[in-house]
Structures are given as structure tokens and as C-alpha cells.
Chain A
Amino acid sequence: MGGESNEGGEMGFKHGDDESGGISRVGITSMPLYAKADPFFSSADWDPVVNAAAAGFSSSHYHPSMAMDNPGMSCFSHYQPGSVSGFAGDMPASLLPFGDCGGGGQIGHFLGSDKKGERLIRAGESSHEDHHQVSDDAVLGASPVGKRRLPEAESQWNKKAVEEFQEDPQRGNDQSQKKHKNDQSKETVYKESSQSEEAPKENYIHMRARRGQATNSHSLAERVRREKISERMRLLQELVPGCNKITGKAVMLDEIINYVQSLQQQVEFLSMKLATVNPEINIDIDRILAKDLLQSRDRNTPTLGLNPFAGFQGNIPNLSATTNPQYNPLPQTTLESELQNLYQMGFVSNPSTMSSFSPNGRLKPEL
């Protein structure tokens, strides 16, 4: 931590090589810029940091502007929570926004502009996936504004930039309170085409434009729609067997179509098979059903159900033995009572009695 010993206000480095994990989290693409600008940096020290930063950080192009604003600024790769307070006293407030460009969403929170340690501590905590978050902060950070936003709110806000709020009031509540705080503190909002207030009761979709994308309402709606479609495609991907490796909408859709077609062909084929098999067997299907279902339940059912089967011994036992394991055990709800009716009716294959079976409560006779 040699940087710390430099004159205050000029440099406050923590190029914690030993904390490279923390640094890589931060995503310091701005390092190279400052490294050039600042004679105190030894590039060798920053190499691991730079490499970590080069992992690709979207908001890097904002940094040059920041460099102009604060020429004498030193950039911090990341703050150690413990030693923050020492820094805070040294750094003028204007320097703090700079830390923003250095990091991901974490340092964006430094824009909070405060010299208090607690803000800086947040660096380690918040998520670092909000690149667009950073850029917003970076742009606004040039003008220090006090207590503009809460870090957690921002990170969660952007994480949920595109969502459907049809249900899940809990999530909506969380969002709404954070959004509320955001609204209080934010004066200017860049890049935001639609206010996304979380109203869990409302059924329409709220969106916030992401960085670098058109803020036309049409394209927003397009994007929402595309997200919906890809979400459903993911759902379908789980349904269709063997589609885990497929990436790409076109191939996936072809697979889905083929699968549906093959299922329909299977139904046709099986119905053909059934047609050939069926007429040969003289047993009433109802009895098969009843017997099979009877067997899958416990044996305390009245034996009267078993008696009518006496005449079918040649066939029924075999059938029931084979069909039994293939059916799941009955749910002990409405089906049971319906079956009681069936037994009492004496296995009448009367359409009107059969209709009482309908587990969904519909009393329409079957085809």
C-alpha cells in the first residue's frame, strides 16, 4: 500500500495486489488512463489490476471525460473498507466521483459523494453487474450531489430493468420503496425513457431503457416483447428433450416444431394400434378401469366391486397386472368418490353417469 503515503489529494492508491479478487470485482478499466497521467504510478504494480480490468467493461469510454474534469485526480482501484476513513479525510469531495469510473456498480456508489466511510464500504457489497449503472453515475458524478441515491436501490433497480410485474407483490413492494427513494434524490435522469414505478397491482409492463439503446417507445416495446419470447423459448427448451445444447432461436424453434409434429404422429399411430387391438377384447373398458383403479387403492374397498369380475378371470387379472404399474396411484380426492359412484351404479357405461367422473367439475358427457 505504498500509494497511501503520497501526498493527500494527489494519490490515494490501493493497488492491493494481494486483494486481486476484490480488484477484479471492481473492474478497473480506468486504470490505464490514470496510470499514464500520473507519474506516481508504476505501471508494473498495476499490471495485474489492468489485466483484471481488461476483462471488458462497458463504460470505459466515459472515463476520458472524467479525466478532463479532474486532472489531478488519482484513481482508486478499490477501497478497503478498513482503511477508508483514512482516505476520506484526505480526499476532497470532488475526487470521490472519480472512483466511480474505476469500478463497477460498486464504486458508482461513491458518487454519493460523501466522505463518510460507510459509502465507501459499500463498494465491497453491492453487485458489480450494473455497468450501465456506472455510466450513469459517472456522467452525473462530475457534479457532486449529496446523497443522491442508495446503492442497493440502484443495483437492484437496474437488475430488474426489464420485468413483468403481473404478480409477485413482494418484489413489487421492494422495488417500490427503493424506487421511491431514488425519485426523491435524483434530479436528472439520463437515458431513462419511461419511469418504472413498481405498482404490483398494475398489470402492464414497466421498462427502463438500458444504456446505449434507443429510447423510442416502439423499440422499448419491441425489446420487452423479445424478452418475453426468449423467456418462453427457454421454457420450451426444457420441455423438449435433448435441446439443452441448442442455442439459437431458429434451430430451437425448428426442434420444437418437429417435436410437436412427432407427438401428433405418435398419437395417430397409437390410435391406429388401439383400433386394431380394441375390438378383439370384449371386456368393458370401464371394468378394466375400475379394477385397475381398485387395485391401486388400498384393499379396504368393498369387495362388492370385485364380484362382477368373477366372470372375466381369464382376461382381467392379466390386464390389471399389466396396467396396474403403469398408472399412478390415485389421488385420494374426487376420483375416489366418483369411483364409489361407479361401483354403485354397477359399472354402467352410461354416458350420464360417466360424466360425473369429470375431475374438473365439468359435467359434459364425453365423446
Chain B
Amino acid sequence: MASADKLINTYVPEKDVFALHFLQSLSNLRTQNPLNSPDKSIDRVRKIKKAAYVSMARAAGGTSRLWSRALLRRAAKDDNKSVRFSRRKRKVTWKISSKRKRSNQRAPVVEEAAERLRNLVPGGGGMETSKLMEETAHYIKCLSMQVKVMQCLVDGLSPK
């Protein structure tokens, strides 16, 4: 259906938005650990990774998408200082996947794949399968955008 995109909104901002957010987060990281770099590089990697995800979530629409909201909440939970996340009144979700797990009416093939997807996509646990797939589509778009940005940055910053 060519009109599918109208019904399902998978708008993703331009690359600059992602770049902007990511660079902001990186600079904030830098200010947090000015020149005394942490000893373990793993910590740094983890921090950068977290910064990447959080900035992606923000760039993609903040709390307006389910997955980004879940991502931000997860990040805020781990580390209360660094991520600001304001609670939003939760809308009642009609279908909770836990109920559906019991009934075997839905196609088992689809459902087991949906389970795997739920583990991958942040915030997927509470979603119905069709909603999950919408979120996955948006998530994929944002992830690929973020990867592009990071690749550009790495290429730009790597020594010649």
C-alpha cells in the first residue's frame, strides 16, 4: 500500500539533528571528565555508547515515541545524575503482551519473532505486535541515522 506511510508516521529528522545531539552529549561527557581520562577504556566506551543512545532518543523525538521514552527512562534509571527525564503520564495501553502470551490464537511464528524483537527494541515489552512493528520501523531508521553520524565523526576525527 503506498498510502501506508501516511497512516504510520515514520518521520525521522535530518542527519544534522542527530549530529547536533550527539556532539552535544559528547562535549558534555568531556566536561564531566575534563582531562583526567578514566583509566578503563571500557568505561569510556560505555559512556560514549550511552551518550549515543540517549542522544539518538532525543533527536528522534524525545518522549513522543515509545521506544525513545523507554530508552531515556532506562538511562535515567541507571544514572540519576546525568540524564534528565521527566515522568510523563502514561497512557493506558489497550493490549498488554502478557495477556496475549497465554492465548495461542495469534500466529505463533509471528509471535515468537515478536518476542525476540521485543527484547531488542527498547520499550517493546508492553506493546502489541502491530505497534511493536511500527516502533521497530522508526527505531531502525533512527539507528541507521545514528550509525551514519557516528561513522562520519569517526572518519573525520581519525588521524590521517
Contact = CB atoms under 8 A, between A and B. Distances in A.
**A pairs with B:** yes
A138 B107 CA distance: 34
A167 B6 contact: yes
Contact of B130 (A232, A257, A349): A232
A366 B55 contact: yes
Tier of interface size on chain A: 35 or more
Contacts of A273: 154, 158
A347 to B, nearest CB: 10
A278 B26 contact: yes
Contact of A271 (B52, B83, B143): B52
Contacts of A328: 14-16
Interface string B69-106: 00000010000001110100000000000000000011
Given A285-B26, A327-B19, A351-B28, A235 B5 contact: yes
Contact of B27 (A239, A281, A349): A349
Contact of B137 (A218, A236, A250, A354): A236
Interface residues of B, number: 81
Contact of A226 (B25, B61, B107, B140): B107
A168 interface: yes
Interface in A276-319: 276-281, 284-286, 288-289, 293, 318-319
A228 interface: yes
B61 A360 contact: yes
Contacts of A199: none
Interface string B105-144: 1110110011011001100000001100110110111011
Given A236-B133, A256-B136, 12 more contacts: A166-B7, A250-B109, A260-B139, A267-B143, A271-B52, A274-B154, A274-B157, A275-B44, A323-B152, A323-B153, A323-B156, A367-B51
6 contacts: A164-B7, A229-B133, A232-B133, A260-B143, A270-B151, A293-B16
